[in-house]
Amino acid sequence: MSRYNLRWMDIYEELVRLRREGEVCALATIVDVRGSIPSYETAKLLVRADGSMTGTIGGGCVEAEVYNAAREAIRTGQSRRLNFTLNQDAATDNGLICGGELEVFIEPIQPQPRAFVFGAGHISKSLSSVAALAGFDTVVVDDREAFANRERFPEAGEVIAGEYEEVFPKLAVNGLSFIIIVTRGHRDDLRVLRWALGTPARYIAMIGSRRKVISVVKELAKEGVAVEQPERLFAPMGLDIGAVTPEEIAVSVVAEMIAVRRGADSGWRSVSMSLHGGTGVRGAK
């Protein structure tokens, strides 16, 4: 096996690790070469969100420009192509005599979004299934083993049965995570929401009427737990499509999750409105 293939394997293994840990990165690949360049076609450079790198596309001013473009791709989530002509200045900068052309493709690599579903009832069963179809890695949590099991949630990435407070510290929640609260009662909803608001999760959703949502938020406020980032809290959860059945509710919630994930802005309700007169799924669990 060539040294180039070994480098590729290192980069691919690092890509898998970063995606598993929920970290965004960008991969730059030389996709076309004409003439002489200080590297080779398919050479790769992996740039992490913290600015560190693995691999190389040849060094010099070309790699510096690609590095900056990769950082921008991480920020914007947009792919791009860069074309370079290695004139005498670029050749001298690389310490080589070359005058070729190359094209570099830079793509942001997003981790698979993870959805933590609290509660393992009928709505959660449909939610896990629909979310998995939409590309979310679901983790189902409930304090009842009779409900939180692999038989009920075969598509889930993980199913956890245990007391919520014991499970919370074990969950790897990050800024790309989605939390959906669909437990069997007000008390458990409150327990999970109290914890969820202290996480960096991108999306926190809770089922129930607007009256219930306001009541829960007021109750937390009395405890000193404020909703400091209301744009993250989607409650009542789901797009207002008149959903009634567990399956319909699942579709409305996952549609909302997709909108958040993709940064859609096409008239769907504002998250902050949910606390001040917005709409959503009003049905009981």
- The pLDDT tens digits of the residues spanning 199-214 come to 999 999 999 888 888 8
Q: How confident is the model at residue 224 (pLDDT cuts 50, 70, 90)?
A: confident
Question: Which range has the worst mean pLDDT, 116-120, 190-194, 220-224?
Answer: 220-224
Pure H helices in 77-205: 88-94, 122-133, 164-167, 186-196
Instruction: With cut-offs at 50, 70 and 90, classify the pLDDT of residue 175.
Output: confident
Dihedral angle at the C-alpha atoms of 127, 128, 130, 131, nearest 10 degrees?
Answer: 100
Compute CA distances 166 → 67, 74, 123, 143, 182, whole Å.
42, 34, 23, 10, 18
The percentage of the chain sitting over the pLDDT mark of 90, rounded to a whole number, equals 58
pTM of the model: 0.73
pLDDT higher than threshold 50 for residue 283? no
- 9, HSE (Cβ side, Cα atoms, 13 Å): 6
Nearest to 15 by CA among 46, 40, 49: 46
Q: Are 58 and 42 in contact (CB under 8 A)?
A: no
Lowest mean pLDDT, pick from 91-100, 162-171, 173-182: 91-100
Cβ neighbourhood burial of 270 (10 Å; 0-12, 13-18, 19+): exposed
Report yes or no: 177 and 199 within 8 Å, Cβ to Cβ: yes
Distance, CA of 146 to CA of 139 (rounded, Å): 16
pLDDT class of 35 with cuts at 50, 70, 90:
confident
Domain boundaries, the chain: 3-109, 114-275
Interacting residues of 13 by C-beta distance below 8 A, sequence separation 6+: none
Strand, helix or coil for residue 9: helix
Cα 204-114-267 angle, rounded to 5 deg: 50
CA-to-CA dists, residue 69 to 36, 89, 105, 160, angstroms: 23, 21, 10, 41
Question: What fold, for 114-275?
Answer: Rossmann fold (3.40.50)
Residue 265: pLDDT over 70: no
Closest by Cα among 163, 199, 178, 197 to 255: 178
Residue 229 has pLDDT above 50, yes or no: yes
